[in-house]
Structure 1
Amino acid sequence: MASSGRVGFCGLGVMGRQMASALIEQGFKVHVWNRSSNESLRALQALGAVVCSSPEAVARECPLTFGMVADPAASRAIAFQGTNSIDKGMRKGAAYVDCSTVDAQASMETMAAIKAAGGSFLAAPVSGGWRDAKAGKLLFICGGDEQVYEQATESMEAMGEKRWLVGSTPDKAAHAKLVLQVMMGNMIGALGEAMAVADAAGIDADTVGDMLDASAMGNPLIRAKAKLMSARDYSPNFQVYLQQKDLHLVAALSDELQVPTPITSAANNMYVQSMQRGFGNQDFAAVREAYRAP
């Protein structure tokens, strides 16, 4: 696939850099902005990206703009709360797609602001780490304007391998993404616990990983994270602090929906402990470290 279309991208962290790079590689003319002038910005400029001075400038130049930031506060800031935010550059027919994992309220507020500015909005939080982004294997969980979903299809196909439109409002996408995070956070938290029990019992971690992989519980994520835990190699793909942030959002959602989530609460506590031990910026497999004696 190759494209000559103009696409904007705001937020060039670990994920955003790879996503913007994938768009450039597929022939899109990409206009980028990042809060700080970092190595990612320079690397993308070397690939042919046009560097803009603000999110507003990106949106003004592009009919379709993507955003990828770490949390609801950053999402609001680039979309509509900043002095030069995306909504300030919106025009009729333009659209904004937010790929960040945020709560439903943040998504709904963004939709209202973008619509008030004359644009259209799609929430499209992604599932996958930076290696998935680099390989073009992200999953997009979308909610909002169906026309924007169609408008963004070619761009999403350049960055990912599958996408779903789960509802006509962005809150549905926010909720659906958190459902995935419940499973992922709990599963790797349980893996860390299993590895801790095995270690205390004197059972080789690599053997435990092999047994899990051969069992009904085997899956690519368990396989990969078991190896990291065994080697204590936590080079980040998806960081502890991001997984914990998502489980914190799940806790708020469970309160809102009055659905008990005791397993998720317990897992969240272990991610918090991992962060307190200095592993916040390491791969979330480092939840294993929360089980070690201080």
Structure 2
Amino acid sequence: MNRAGLIGLGAMGAGIAATLRDRGYEMHVCDARPGAAVRFAEAGGVAWATPAQVAHRCEVVISVVVNAAQTEEVLFGEGGAAASMKPGSVFVMCSTVDPNWSMALEERLGALGILYIDAPISGGAAKAASGQMTVMSAARPEAYARADAVLDAMAGKVYRLGDRAGAGSKVKIINQLLAGVHIAAAAEAMALGLREGVAPDALYEVITHSAGNSWMFENRMAHVLAGDYTPLSAVDIFVKDLGLVLDTARASKFPLPLASTAHQMFMQASTAGFAKEDDSAVIKIFPGIELPPSH
């Protein structure tokens, strides 16, 4: 049986692990939250307490954690994976991170004989669980040679964007620029409609069948109409991701006026107490509107 390791059983990671299990992989998993790996393993798979224990048994280890700091902990913290990975094994990094950090990580792991795939992901929990998410990857050919089958099994589309780390993370943060701006714009439009007394359900129906629609309007404003801010992707994710976008552009003095404004909107929502709510809660920064109640 094919075998793979996965660290980080959040909404996306759990979906990826389940997809690989369904497609014939023996999954070895761990998560920082007590019990998460055990719950996954109850349906098939092997739970471990540390990344090192996963890495010791798997030639391909997938990391699906929130950011670069957590990835560092997965690799180099107490019980970290790097010290247990065999030479020639592959670490697949699926977080949204600074591209320069990802490029440096490839070199650090390479010095240990570990291959690396810069492989941020997109599509949300539902697409991760159905095996239809997108992977934006970049890696050396020998890393792809070892891990291609796993990548293709866990995603609907795997883009191979370069033969060194960095290109995958660059494309992902450009995607996040658009995603963040689209959510902010959708919230602004819905807020104006509420302020002007337009029936929100009618506005949603018209916009989703008109040229002003976007995938983010259709998806996120449905959360607003339902009054449900359960975090599928939290406000603070876009504080982080748009921050990465702006950091990247700032290094080359490249102006990003829309991304800057959207970032400020998410920052305002975060400091107003909505940091852990769904990112559609950015609409709560607009004054003088009455939002639809929870259903």
Normalised by the size of structure 2, how large is the TM-score?
A: 0.92
Q: What's the counterpart of residue 34 of structure 2? A: 37
User: Does residue 16 of structure 2 align to residue 8 of structure 1?
Assistant: no
User: Please, which of 50, 53, 58 is the counterpart of residue 46 of structure 2?
Assistant: 50
Q: Following TM superposition, by how much is the alpha carbon of 1:293 offset from its aligned partner in structure 2, in angstroms?
A: 4.8
Q: Following TM superposition, by how much is the alpha carbon of 1:150 offset from its aligned partner in structure 2, in angstroms?
A: 4.2
Q: 1:213 to 1:150 in 2, by over 3 A?
A: farther
> What amino acid does structure 1 have at the position aligned with 2:89?
A
Superposition RMSD on alpha carbons, in Å? Answer: 1.7
Cα offsets for 1:40-89 (capped at 9, x unmatched): 2222110222122321221121111100111111112212x313322111
User: Please, which of 142, 148, 166 is the counterpart of residue 143 of structure 2?
Assistant: 148
Secondary structure, in 3 states, of the residue corresponding to 1:167?
coil
2:186 touches 2:216 (CA, 8 Å); kept in 1? no
Equivalent-residue separation in structure 1 for 2:142 and 2:219 (angstroms): 37
Cα offsets for 1:84-116 (capped at 9, x unmatched): 322111222211100111111321232122211
Q: What's the counterpart of residue 65 of structure 1? A: 61
User: Please, which of 161, 165, 175 is the counterpart of residue 170 of structure 2?
Assistant: 175
1:123 touches 1:142 (CA, 8 Å); kept in 2? yes
Secondary structure, in 3 states, of the residue corresponding to 1:214?
coil
Q: Following TM superposition, by how much is the alpha carbon of 1:243 offset from its aligned partner in structure 2, in angstroms?
A: 1.9
Q: What's the counterpart of residue 254 of structure 1? A: 249
More deviation in 6-15 or 278-287?
278-287
Equivalent-residue separation in structure 2 for 1:74 and 1:123 (angstroms): 15
Equivalent-residue separation in structure 1 for 2:232 and 2:130 (angstroms): 13
User: Please, which of 240, 247, 261 is the counterpart of residue 245 of structure 1?
Assistant: 240
User: Does residue 157 of structure 2 align to residue 162 of structure 1?
Assistant: yes
2:161 touches 2:167 (CA, 8 Å); kept in 1? yes
Secondary structure, in 3 states, of the residue corresponding to 1:163?
strand
Q: 1:106 to 1:76 in 2, by over 3 A?
A: farther
> What amino acid does structure 1 have at the position aligned with 2:10?
G
> What amino acid does structure 2 have at the position aligned with 1:260?
P
User: Does residue 116 of structure 2 align to residue 121 of structure 1?
Assistant: yes
> What amino acid does structure 2 have at the position aligned with 1:54?
T
Q: What's the counterpart of residue 267 of structure 1? A: 262
Equivalent-residue separation in structure 2 for 1:292 and 1:230 (angstroms): 17
Secondary structure, in 3 states, of the residue corresponding to 1:209?
helix
2:195 touches 2:288 (CA, 8 Å); kept in 1? no
Q: What's the counterpart of residue 137 of structure 1? A: 132
Give ranges in structure 2 of 5+ residues lacking alignment: 290-295
Secondary structure, in 3 states, of the residue corresponding to 1:276?
helix
> What amino acid does structure 2 have at the position aligned with 1:87?
A
Q: What's the counterpart of residue 205 of structure 1? A: 200
Equivalent-residue separation in structure 2 for 1:58 and 1:106 (angstroms): 24
Equivalent-residue separation in structure 2 for 1:99 and 1:106 (angstroms): 13
2:182 touches 2:214 (CA, 8 Å); kept in 1? no
Q: Following TM superposition, by how much is the alpha carbon of 1:125 offset from its aligned partner in structure 2, in angstroms?
A: 0.3
Q: Following TM superposition, by how much is the alpha carbon of 1:220 offset from its aligned partner in structure 2, in angstroms?
A: 3.6
Equivalent-residue separation in structure 1 for 2:179 and 2:97 (angstroms): 16
Equivalent-residue separation in structure 1 for 2:222 and 2:87 (angstroms): 50
Equivalent-residue separation in structure 2 for 1:29 and 1:133 (angstroms): 18
Q: Following TM superposition, by how much is the alpha carbon of 1:263 offset from its aligned partner in structure 2, in angstroms?
A: 0.9
User: Please, which of 173, 183, 192 is the counterpart of residue 188 of structure 1?
Assistant: 183
Q: What's the counterpart of residue 292 of structure 2? A: none
Q: Following TM superposition, by how much is the alpha carbon of 1:272 offset from its aligned partner in structure 2, in angstroms?
A: 1.4
Equivalent-residue separation in structure 2 for 1:241 and 1:137 (angstroms): 25
Equivalent-residue separation in structure 2 for 1:139 and 1:217 (angstroms): 25
Equivalent-residue separation in structure 2 for 1:105 and 1:111 (angstroms): 10
Q: Following TM superposition, by how much is the alpha carbon of 1:158 offset from its aligned partner in structure 2, in angstroms?
A: 3.0
Q: Following TM superposition, by how much is the alpha carbon of 1:229 offset from its aligned partner in structure 2, in angstroms?
A: 1.8
Secondary structure, in 3 states, of the residue corresponding to 2:281?
helix
Q: Following TM superposition, by how much is the alpha carbon of 1:120 offset from its aligned partner in structure 2, in angstroms?
A: 0.6
1:188 touches 1:225 (CA, 8 Å); kept in 2? yes
Identity %: 28
Cα offsets for 1:147-188 (capped at 9, x unmatched): 323433332333221111111222111111000000010011
